[in-house]
């Protein structure tokens, strides 16, 4: 690297595509503030493909990074994903990835390591493996604490054990010039303990985690009006429903439920147009959908289609639902059952903001979904403003940890 370049290793972890979109936003903000920044990435699929499509460069070790989305899809059953079970099945991959990240950080001589939900570092440290070199490490969260979503004793014990590790993350994020930040608001952290004999989550977070607000993949004040997007994207004046389940295959059943609801809704909403977006991990041609439903695979900048829609039907992905809030698009959302983040953190945020209509896939019939589609199609919504300058604030924190005295950075 040329003299004076600040090399950063950025690990875009977790599932699907929501995290990598905000990571790209943080990367843009870092470069805008400090042109001397040079970033190498580690990520699994489908985030890896999104990074390459955006012109980013991977660290050499990225090819050996074990994909968490693969583990999640293997764990999921009938559209459900128990997050506690997934985490335990991911532990072997996490230990592998922790060592890989440590090797990459040492080989590359990076000035800092940034990790978006890089839980493998925390777990390895808890078990005595200090894999990172002595450079600043910034850990990023968008939820705090595991939840038990069933009454099973095994899951409750498992969630408690994972929260024990989580409540010790300060041993990593308070070390040296390390830090932790949270994409969201303090209210996104439940006001209850991690578990029996463990500290209260919100008070813990207030003590050492920086809250930076949310991140959007588009400028919040520059999004064109709905009619402009409809013209640009080739839609007409017909009522439009866009159905999407993000960057994993876990939502296949929800997309097919939307398809079964379509003819019932179309009988009561003349000219109804439904676009089903399968994403990067589902073959759209393999979906069981009726005639008249449009199939699409992975769609670049899907938020533009949300902006054009009269209604969206989605899972409770944090990034997707945030986009719909900001775009003022009415939406129905189905948290993945057993997925504590979606069922508790994201659903809690949406309830607090009065945004979206929560539904449950396992108890929703095609007729009930058709009723909801017709009832909320084109509905006027007035969600509260969202603080979405998280990329800029996260970038400022990373640069502060690198050293504010460095010339050429603001």
| Residues 153-207: tens digit of each pLDDT | 888 898 999 999 999 999 999 999 999 999 999 999 999 999 999 999 999 999 9
- The whole-number average pLDDT for the span 51-60 is 97
> How high is the pLDDT of residue 226?
86
- From CA 5, how far away is CA 40, in angstroms rounded? 13
Question: Which long-range contacts (C-beta less than 8 Å, at least 24 apart) are formed by 222-226?
Answer: 223/307, 223/326, 223/327, 224/307, 226/307, 226/308
- How much is the average pLDDT of 224-241? 91
Query: Would the pLDDT of 277 be above 50?
Result: yes
Task: Determine the pLDDT at residue 405.
Answer: 46
Write the pLDDT tens digit of every residue in 139-154.
999 999 998 887 788 8
Predicted confidence at residue 197, as pLDDT, reads: 96
Q: How confident is the model at residue 407 (pLDDT cuts 50, 70, 90)?
A: low
Nearest-angstrom CA–CA distance, 192 and 361? 28
Architecture of domain 226-376: 3-Layer(aba) Sandwich (3.40)
Sign of the Cα pseudo-torsion (299, 302, 304, 309, in order): positive
Residue 224, token pair as written in the block: 């064109």
Q: Residue 25: its pLDDT value, please?
A: 95
CB 257 within 8 A of CB 364: yes
The ranges of the chain annotated as CATH 3.40.50.2000 are 6-215+388-403, 226-376
C-alpha–C-alpha distance, residues 166 and 80, integer Å: 24
Q: If you average pLDDT over residues 287-299, what whole number do you get?
A: 97
pLDDT band at 406 (very low <50, low <70, confident <90, very high): low
In this prediction, residue 408 carries a pLDDT of 64
Tell me which CATH code domain 6-215+388-403 carries: 3.40.50.2000
Q: What is the pLDDT of residue 8?
A: 97
Strands 37-43 and 112-116: unpaired
At 409 the pLDDT is 73
Position 231 pLDDT exceeds 80: yes
**CB under 8 Å to 284, separation ≥6 — which residues?**
276, 278, 295, 296, 297
């Amino acid at each position: 690297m040329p003299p004076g370049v600040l090399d950063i290793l950025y690990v875009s972890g977790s599932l699907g595509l929501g995290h990598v979109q905000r990571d790209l936003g943080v990367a843009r903000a870092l470069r805008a503030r400090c042109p001397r920044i040079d970033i190498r990435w580690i990520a699994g699929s489908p985030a890896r493909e999104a990074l390459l499509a955006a012109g980013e460069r991977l660290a050499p070790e990225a090819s050996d990074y074990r994909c968490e989305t693969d583990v999640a899809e293997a764990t999921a059953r009938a559209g459900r994903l128990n997050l506690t079970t997934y985490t335990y099945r991911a532990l072997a991959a996490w230990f592998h990835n922790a060592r890989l990240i440590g090797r990459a950080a040492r080989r590359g001589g990076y000035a800092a390591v940034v990790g978006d939900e890089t839980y493998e570092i925390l777990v390895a440290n808890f078990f005595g493996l200090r894999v990172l070199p002595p450079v600043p490490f910034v850990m990023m969260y968008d939820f705090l604490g595991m939840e038990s979503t069933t009454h099973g004793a095994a899951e409750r014990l498992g969630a408690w054990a994972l929260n024990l590790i989580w409540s010790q993350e300060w041993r990593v994020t308070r070390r040296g010039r390390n830090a932790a930040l949270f994409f969201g608001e303090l209210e996104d952290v439940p006001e209850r303990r991690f578990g029996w004999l463990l500290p209260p989550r919100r008070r813990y977070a207030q003590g050492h985690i920086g809250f930076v607000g949310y991140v959007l993949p588009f400028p919040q004040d520059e999004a064109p009006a709905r009619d402009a997007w409809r013209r640009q994207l080739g839609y007409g004046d017909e009522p439009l429903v866009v159905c999407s389940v993000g960057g994993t295959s876990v939502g296949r059943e929800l997309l097919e439920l939307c398809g079964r609801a379509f003819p019932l809704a179309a009988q009561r909403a003349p000219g109804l147009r439904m676009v089903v977006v399968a994403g990067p991990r589902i073959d759209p041609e393999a979906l069981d959908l009726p005639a008249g439903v449009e199939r699409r695979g992975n769609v670049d900048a899907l938020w533009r289609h949300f902006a054009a829609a009269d209604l969206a039907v989605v899972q409770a992905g944090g990034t997707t639902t945030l986009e719909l809030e900001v775009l003022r698009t009415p939406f129905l959302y189905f948290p993945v059952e057993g997925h504590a983040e979606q069922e508790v953190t994201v659903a809690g945020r949406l309830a607090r903001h009065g945004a979206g209509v929560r539904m449950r896939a396992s108890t929703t019939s095609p007729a009930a979904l058709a009723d909801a589609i017709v009832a909320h199609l084109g509905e006027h919504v007035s969600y509260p403003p969202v603080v979405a300058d998280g990329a800029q604030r996260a970038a400022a924190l990373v640069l502060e940890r690198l050293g504010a005295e460095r010339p050429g950075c603001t």
